[in-house]
Structure 1
Amino acid sequence: MARRRSAISYYEECALSLLTVRVVQAAHIPWADLMSHADCYVCLWLPTCTNKILKTKTVSDTSDPVWNETFQYTICNNVKNVLHLTLHDEDVITGNDLLYTLTYDVGRIRIGETKQKTFCLNPNGPEFLQVEFSLAEFQGCREKILTNGVIVAREMTCLDICVDKHRIPENLQGKLLILSLEDSCEEVCRMELSPCTGPNPIQACRFHYLKRWDPKFTAYVEGADNQAIQVIPVKLLHMGQEQKILLSTVPVYTNCWGFRCFLPLRWIQPRGSPAICNSKARRITSCWSPLILRKCRRPICSSKARPLEVKLKAKDCTDKLDVRMGFSLCDDEKLYLSKRRKVVAETLKRLLKLDRDLEDHEIPVIAVTTTGGGVRAMISLYGTLAGLKKLGLLDCVTYLTGASGSTWSMSKLYEDPDWSQKDLCAPIEDACRNVTKSKSGAFSFDRLAFYRDEINTRARMGYKTSFSDLWGLVLESMYCDNVNETKLSDQRKALANGQNPLPLCLAMNVKPNESSTLDYKEWCEFSPYEVGLLKYGAFIRSEDFGSEFFMGRRTRALPESRICYLQGLWSNVFSINLMDAWFSAVSSEHFWHRFTRDTIYELSEEEALRKRRMSAGLPTRVTQPASDFSRTIREILTNRPLDGEHHNFLKGLQMHKEYCTHNGFCAFDDTELDNSPNKLTPSSEELCLVDTAYYINASFPPLLREERKVDVLLAFDYGLTEKFRSVERTEEYCKVHDIRFPKIQVSDEEKANPKECYYFSGCGDPKCPTILHFPLVNDTFKQFKHPGVNRLTDQEKEEGLVDLGEKSSYGVLKLTYSKEDFDKLINLTEYNVENNEKVILQVLREAVECKQKRRDCISV
């Protein structure tokens, strides 16, 4: 049974255990080539304990290698620990071959148990791998973790390193100090050892790593003659105390053998300090003098070889996270909702002619959701909002969601904090001027140079730059008069008093160069308050999007991006791969899917399913890699040459041991990676965010979160074909994830000749939203210029002829419209809303009555 989602994150005290893995042997491994038996070795990867891949020795020229090698890991018991074992054939000439990959859920082993497993590597052959597992608890050693039931933030340590520029030796000035800390977020830091020229003489950097891990710190000066390399296990550092290490390039020779070696750092002291004398020091002979050091306290460092002093200080990082973990709404949104309810209540009382004020529990949550469609969607949303404004319905709307092109108009509108309280003629006229103007200026040499400078500046600041940044700048040039300095967080001004609907924009996170969109996709929601990945219940402040994070903490703050860069992300139709294009054309990817995938099968399937129900254990899987040719084809088909990469704010976080059973974790049935926690988004270096059109060209998912409790959805589909595809595919998505959504039933005749509005109800389920679906059609608009007002003149009849066919002038790649086409589309979408006023008001009335009845039932 699925566990209830956590509204907020909570702390857990969990035990640490010692996992011992003994790789015993393999048998009947086939020949890798025609010349000899396989030369086998095994690699072990457990990323919840270390990023390092451990390796056995290579056993040469045998099909039955025996290793008997033991490896140990310190594991956190409340984390999903899945060990990857890979069997390789070593080949010096052609490169090592990956033969099999095996994944084993360590959670299947009980404390104090030793279990020897013989894994079948081929269901049709005798090949097997034998491994022994044992688990022992560390007595009295526990770790405090923060989790929402899906992802886990563990305790983290910061290692601060600084160098005093005034104390840099002359012979090292201008060189690079290379600092590295394995298993850390930063991994490597490079400091240029330049003399002090400014007011700050201290040069510093910081590493972040897991407190329970045991990485090694390495420091050396690149390019220095006879450089000394300092390696220190961080567990030897005293927490909270500043300690020094000395890097020297003094070469010395041993008296006995004559080999050159480096003087150990603890024997080198700064000028004026006594040298440490011990038995080893007495046997060292200076390379410049034949004298052997005597038992004296004379310094052995000359001024030319003064060592470099590096200061280290390790300290615990704060428990406060910069990533909000949980599936509840943020406090800012809750405050907004309390203010917006008052506006909605007053409007509904007036429109529905109610005889009393609505109480809080009687106020329905009404949302407007739109689809993408490039410039067509941008214009259509203006018309839709103008129609709602004329009917007085805009103040009833709590949420406004957009995808792709519809986000362009949303971004422009929210520059004005009071846009919904004003007439929309001014923003529509502004949009008309920019849509109808020539776009050649956006591609002039001056603009191209501007784009280059902007992107280079972002790269220097630390952003990951991609084609979506360029596309956003182009959109800004085409549809804005000037450089737009507004940011997503600036839209909070438009929500301060609950005066406008809360805007929500949507993108999808996918796996580049690895999977098609159907194989892997995750919803990413953008609001003026937060950006979040819904699947993991993880959110950051909107101004922090683009900054660097590790284990839930912000490690490097970057300035918030201008809104145009987000527009390029939300509507990057160029990030498609060939697999997506194939599916879009024929709605089937089975041929390419099967041809390019690795062969994956579960061992002891019935037992695995039983254990999964009992202990949330993942099935043991063996993967036989596809052929080199198939892998090449897959890379070609899934490559996204024009994708949008961004720093991953989930980086470093780990999966909870029971994440699979949590009802907040929305796993797709066809997504194999959901059963591979080591390959999910927290293990990725970056996010790859693309247009939602590659899966569902709609913006429903943010409104289907049960915490938002949406009662009525006014869904506007701006597609030219398949007028019901957005709601039908959303219904399929909701069935898979057990989300309440009305049943979409439309006859073939209606699909061929759709009307302006369709009503889909939840069939008596009070928690299921009611949907009014508005496809983009030209139905009664051909006869009426306004509801109930016939078209009489030839000009009026001409204005009613709006071609919405596949080859119309409103194609998704059309960037410039004529004034006539613009006006026709605005008037059509505005009319389609006005002409269905009675239906909308009736649905709102039913929603209020439903809320009142539910309250009465609860009271009884």
Structure 2
Amino acid sequence: MFRVSGERLSGRALPALAAAFLWKKDKEGDLPLRSWRKEVHPYYRLSVTVLRARNIQGVDMLSEADCYVQLKLPTASPLHYRTKVVYNSADPEWNETFHYRIHSAVKNTLELTLYDRDLMLDDKLSSVVFDVGNIKPGQTIRRVFKLNPKDKEVLEVEFHIEESQDPPSEIITNGVLVAHPCVCVEGRIKYDEKKCKGDYMLKLSVPGSYEKQTSAPLKQSQTEELGKFVFHADRDMSPHLDVFLLKTLSIAQNDLAPELEKKILYLGKGSVSMSSLPTGQEIDIYLPLSKNQVVNMTMMKEESSQELDIRLGFELSHGERYFLEKRRKIIAQSLKKALKLNKVPDEVPVVAVLGSGGGARAMTSFYGSLQGLQDLKLLDSITYLSGVSGSTWCMSTLYEDYDWSNKDLKEPISKAQKSMTSSKSGAFSAERLRHCAQELMALERDGHKVNFSDFWGLVLEYFLHQKNNPAKLSDQQNSVCKGQNPYPIYAGVNVRVNISGKDFAEWCEFTPHEVGFRKYGAFIRTEDFGSEFFMGHLIHRRKEPKICFLQGVWGSAFAANLDEIWAQASGTGIRWLNSLTDVIKVIDDCRKLHFRDPTRLHTRLVMPGGIISNIFQDFFKSRFTAGELYNFTRGLYLYKDYMGIRDFVAWKGNHLDAFPNLLTPMEENLYLVDGGFSINSPFPLVLQSERDVDIILSFNYSWQAPFEVLHLTSKYCKERGIPFPNIAVKEADEKQPKECYVFMDADNPKVPIVLHFPLVNDTFRAYKAPGVFRETDEEQDFGDFLLQNKDSPYRTKHFTYEPNDFNRLVEVNRYNVLNNEQLIKGALKAALDRRKNKTTYRGLREKKKARITA
């Protein structure tokens, strides 16, 4: 049941849209941080009348279309409504009205889908996605949706909205997500042999609930647990418990096939409204299911507390903010020494170091880059350390030592060399595979979803440690509790199984304190990752998984679909697939656009690709090995004005962000994979305004396209209005990159300074240290090697190096940092000056305010 805590506020005592704002001032003292707040909003009654369609071209060439319309409004009802079928007509008329109670705080988007009835599978002809917020209360509007202007196909629908007599209700929101009150019903079937006749089963179902449905025998069984049930549901959906009486028959198919076939008969049904149950009181219910069968149940309803188990807000976690307070003092002392300042600076720049993906090559290279920063005595000047894929393998290993950045990195690099140069065959020995099977079965027994990425994580565990590693991500809180190391941010992206990561990916950050989506402002404690949540409440707590299982997610290169694999091989996706995808068009009347509310979504028409399209899309774009994880945002809704948040590109009518019914909170599962499927470097995680990063040291270990991550990040930022420097790279540099590039905007201090380090062996061939030539044949031979060629030992698929190859890769990355000391320190000085100017400007502004107040 729910944990009830906190004082409940009276909805009638709070004005709409202005209840208990829990906002905090930012460090400049002006704009509030975007945190959660309580609001009160009214309900409305929506009536949708499907009138008629005209000039409909069906799929069947031998007859006219057999049309019906399906209505989906998941923010108001878990059920899909549909009109009757009008057979053999190109101009069907229905005049059927459907009613919804909608909550005005959420983005209510109605999907109207026109189908052509078929014997085998109904054909989807077209869909209209309509923002109900376009209708004003008390208004009746009739819309003629143009389905196919060429053939003059149209669908006519009438909408009417009026205020509901139900009192307004209170919700919790952070401006993107909305949490409605949740109810939980626990029950138990009471068995009475006099009333329970025959060998029957019960199916219990609550549409829209977290549990969906469960089954129990009607007769007393040896296992008493079989008669217990629990359902969590949205109170605003007016949920009801449906109880079905079933009987299973075994029927011989025929004389030639005497084997028995199972057939389920539905013999009766009863329903209980969960809204009618008293809160906090157990009651007995006698529910007739058929003429001869009555089921006796005890049920008790509880309402959720207003204390959510998920954090809704965009500010940094308490643990990260506490870290920053400690880290600033260390950074100030470090900069004083490194930059030879006269005194300890009052304001310090925020520096983020990013490691790209690239498998074992990225892991090994990241060690070298970090050692270079340590040799320059700059590791203590770093605030954040973030990576994707192979770089996260390096990070997670380092952070097992709570004070790693204050120790000589030669020791962990030596351990990494031992792992990288040893045979990996033991990972697939009979003993190891048996260990993996036991680990996966234990994971499954604990209730976790087990998939291929978990097995891959166990393989990586052996590759990195050659033994069982019990470490968990939350253990790394000890590594940052005193600000002694940079704050680690591990990256993954949430994707869809049938959409390319370049087209849609939501960045998920993993830190020692929290895991979450800054896009939605939704975070959970790291210890609770893998547990089950619904509507912001913890339903089932699971043990925190070992970090190796997260490494399997962060480096899940095998989750690629065939289209992405083809793109990697040829430089472009399978082009003819694009001709089979759904066609999405904005069909709003252009003459009315300048009167539009900017928070309203455009009406869109979706023309499905058809059955053949679905077959090809499923084959080429599905991620057969993508791991499913519990979705901790499940059961939350999109706020009515969510599209005004910069992380959403809902202004693109064909982008998934413009379809709130399809976004992550409405999904059952997460599909978290390697961040490299979107951008092969975690720029989006450190570019969040809350982290206020001044300098980004970008280490790119990609095999090809040395500036691709910058170009993709630039596009990402332009779509979302995030400050980012202009990336102008000469064609010669694209083909033959140098060791370091600096990108900045001298006129805009909000734009971070980016230092980008491609993976190159440039001056390292001639110099064993900055300014020191290679003299002996042995030294020259060590530096004279190719990083990229078809026979290179550093190809992404390689997980075992020769000792000399490992050392070369570490040293070339270390050298590239050392050889650009002046550029790095110059960027630090520039960022320090920017911070000083900000402080001076803020001080003058505060004095001006004080004078005005006086």
- TM (norm. structure 2) is 0.89
Out of 512, 519, 526, the position equivalent to 1:542 is: 526
Tell me the CA shift for residue 188 of structure 1.
Answer: 1.1
Q: Which residues of 2 match residues 221-260 of structure 1 at below 5 A? A: 229-246=269-286
Say whether the 8 Å CA contact 1:609–1:619 is kept in structure 2: no
Q: Which residue of 2 aligns with 1:184?
A: 209
**Residue 598 (structure 1) aligned with residue 582 (structure 2):** yes
Q: Distance in 2 between matches of 1:495 and 1:841?
A: 25
Q: Distance in 2 between matches of 1:136 and 1:336?
A: 51
**Residue 662 (structure 1) aligned with residue 645 (structure 2):** yes
Aligned CA distance change for structure 1 residues 417 and 204 (closer, same or farther; 3 Å): farther
**Residue 463 (structure 1) aligned with residue 490 (structure 2):** no
Q: Which residue of 2 aligns with 1:303?
A: none
Which AA in structure 1 matches 2:66? D
Out of 692, 699, 703, the position equivalent to 1:709 is: 692
**Residue 346 (structure 1) aligned with residue 370 (structure 2):** no
Q: Which residue of 2 aligns with 1:476?
A: 461
Say whether the 8 Å CA contact 1:463–1:546 is kept in structure 2: yes
**Residue 522 (structure 1) aligned with residue 546 (structure 2):** no
Aligned CA distance change for structure 1 residues 760 and 622 (closer, same or farther; 3 Å): closer
Aligned CA distance change for structure 1 residues 36 and 363 (closer, same or farther; 3 Å): same
Tell me the CA shift for residue 712 of structure 1.
Answer: 1.2
Identity %: 40
Say whether the 8 Å CA contact 2:584–2:654 is kept in structure 1: no
Which AA in structure 2 matches 1:429? S
Q: Which residue of 1 aligns with 2:80?
A: 53
Q: Which residues of 2 match residues 399-798 of structure 1 at below 5 A? A: 399-513=384-498, 515-589=499-573, 591-592=575-576, 594-607=578-591, 609-612=593-596, 614-665=597-648, 669=652, 672-798=655-781
Q: Distance in 1 between matches of 2:715 and 2:569?
A: 20
Say whether the 8 Å CA contact 1:24–1:130 is kept in structure 2: yes
Q: Distance in 1 between matches of 2:460 and 2:574?
A: 36
Say whether the 8 Å CA contact 1:667–1:737 is kept in structure 2: no
Tell me the CA shift for residue 22 of structure 1.
Answer: 1.3
Say whether the 8 Å CA contact 1:608–1:619 is kept in structure 2: no
SS in 2 for 1:230: strand
SS in 2 for 1:121: strand
Q: Distance in 1 between matches of 2:620 and 2:172?
A: 39
Tell me the CA shift for residue 191 of structure 1.
Answer: 4.8
Say whether the 8 Å CA contact 2:270–2:288 is kept in structure 1: no
Which AA in structure 1 matches 2:338? L
Which AA in structure 1 matches 2:411? A
Q: Which residue of 1 aligns with 2:107?
A: 80
Which AA in structure 2 matches 1:119? F
Which AA in structure 2 matches 1:794? D
**What per-residue deviation string (whole Å, max 9, x for no partner) do you get for residues 700-750 of structure 1?**
111100111111111111123222222232122212221111222222223
Computing the radius of gyration from Cα coordinates, the structure with the larger value is 1
Q: Distance in 1 between matches of 2:150 and 2:640?
A: 32
**What per-residue deviation string (whole Å, max 9, x for no partner) do you get for residues 560-616 of structure 1?**
11101110101111111122234334444483353122233222341464354x252
More deviation, 169-178/841-850: 169-178
Tell me the CA shift for residue 152 of structure 1.
Answer: 1.2
Tell me the CA shift for residue 769 of structure 1.
Answer: 1.1
Q: Distance in 1 between matches of 2:222 and 2:160?
A: 58
Q: Which residue of 1 aligns with 2:318?
A: 331
**What per-residue deviation string (whole Å, max 9, x for no partner) do you get for residues 669-713 of structure 1?**
585211111111111111112222223211111110011111111
Tell me the CA shift for residue 58 of structure 1.
Answer: 1.6
Q: Which residue of 1 aligns with 2:233?
A: 209
Say whether the 8 Å CA contact 1:711–1:847 is kept in structure 2: yes
Tell me the CA shift for residue 177 of structure 1.
Answer: 5.1
Q: Distance in 1 between matches of 2:97 and 2:665?
A: 29
Which AA in structure 2 matches 1:125? D
Q: Which residues of 2 match residues 245-324 of structure 1 at below 5 A? A: 245-246=285-286, 262-263=291-292, 265=294, 309-324=296-311
Q: Which residue of 1 aligns with 2:15?
A: none
Q: Distance in 2 between matches of 1:381 and 1:534?
A: 26
Q: Which residue of 2 aligns with 1:817?
A: 801
Tell me the CA shift for residue 15 of structure 1.
Answer: 0.6
Q: Distance in 1 between matches of 2:47 and 2:650?
A: 31
Q: Which residue of 2 aligns with 1:285?
A: none
Aligned CA distance change for structure 1 residues 243 and 750 (closer, same or farther; 3 Å): same
Q: Which residue of 2 aligns with 1:156?
A: 182
Q: Which residue of 1 aligns with 2:3?
A: none
Aligned CA distance change for structure 1 residues 739 and 562 (closer, same or farther; 3 Å): same
Q: Distance in 1 between matches of 2:384 and 2:634?
A: 30
Aligned CA distance change for structure 1 residues 31 and 476 (closer, same or farther; 3 Å): closer
Aligned CA distance change for structure 1 residues 202 and 189 (closer, same or farther; 3 Å): closer
Say whether the 8 Å CA contact 1:522–1:534 is kept in structure 2: no
Q: Which residue of 1 aligns with 2:832?
A: 848
Q: Distance in 1 between matches of 2:33 and 2:567?
A: 36
Say whether the 8 Å CA contact 1:802–1:825 is kept in structure 2: no
Tell me the CA shift for residue 652 of structure 1.
Answer: 1.4
Tell me the CA shift for residue 247 of structure 1.
Answer: 6.5
Out of 86, 98, 115, the position equivalent to 1:71 is: 98
Tell me the CA shift for residue 223 of structure 1.
Answer: 5.0
Which AA in structure 2 matches 1:479? L
SS in 1 for 2:538: strand
SS in 2 for 1:641: coil
Which AA in structure 2 matches 1:839? L
Aligned CA distance change for structure 1 residues 500 and 152 (closer, same or farther; 3 Å): same
Which AA in structure 2 matches 1:15? P
SS in 2 for 1:134: strand
SS in 2 for 1:441: helix
Q: Distance in 2 between matches of 1:690 and 1:542?
A: 17
Say whether the 8 Å CA contact 2:173–2:179 is kept in structure 1: yes
Q: Distance in 2 between matches of 1:173 and 1:415?
A: 61
SS in 2 for 1:506: strand
Say whether the 8 Å CA contact 1:535–1:666 is kept in structure 2: no
More deviation, 838-847/492-501: 838-847
Tell me the CA shift for residue 857 of structure 1.
Answer: 2.9
**Residue 27 (structure 1) aligned with residue 67 (structure 2):** no
Which AA in structure 1 matches 2:515? V
Q: Distance in 2 between matches of 1:28 and 1:578?
A: 39
Aligned CA distance change for structure 1 residues 158 and 84 (closer, same or farther; 3 Å): same
Q: Distance in 1 between matches of 2:417 and 2:696?
A: 28
Say whether the 8 Å CA contact 2:634–2:665 is kept in structure 1: yes
SS in 2 for 1:262: coil
Segments of 5+ residues of structure 1 without an aligned counterpart are 250-260, 266-307
Cα RMSD, aligned residues only: 2.6
SS in 1 for 2:148: coil
Say whether the 8 Å CA contact 1:742–1:763 is kept in structure 2: no
Q: Distance in 2 between matches of 1:622 and 1:237?
A: 42
Tell me the CA shift for residue 13 of structure 1.
Answer: 0.7
Tell me the CA shift for residue 321 of structure 1.
Answer: 1.3
- TM (norm. structure 1) is 0.88
Which AA in structure 2 matches 1:243? I
**What per-residue deviation string (whole Å, max 9, x for no partner) do you get for residues 41-91 of structure 1?**
211110001111111112222222222211100000121111111111222
Q: Which residue of 1 aligns with 2:782?
A: 799
SS in 1 for 2:238: coil
How many equivalent residue pairs? Answer: 797
Aligned CA distance change for structure 1 residues 206 and 853 (closer, same or farther; 3 Å): same
Tell me the CA shift for residue 236 of structure 1.
Answer: 2.3
Q: Distance in 1 between matches of 2:56 and 2:649?
A: 39
Which AA in structure 2 matches 1:707? E
More deviation, 444-453/481-490: 444-453
Q: Distance in 2 between matches of 1:557 and 1:785?
A: 54
Q: Distance in 1 between matches of 2:64 and 2:324?
A: 69
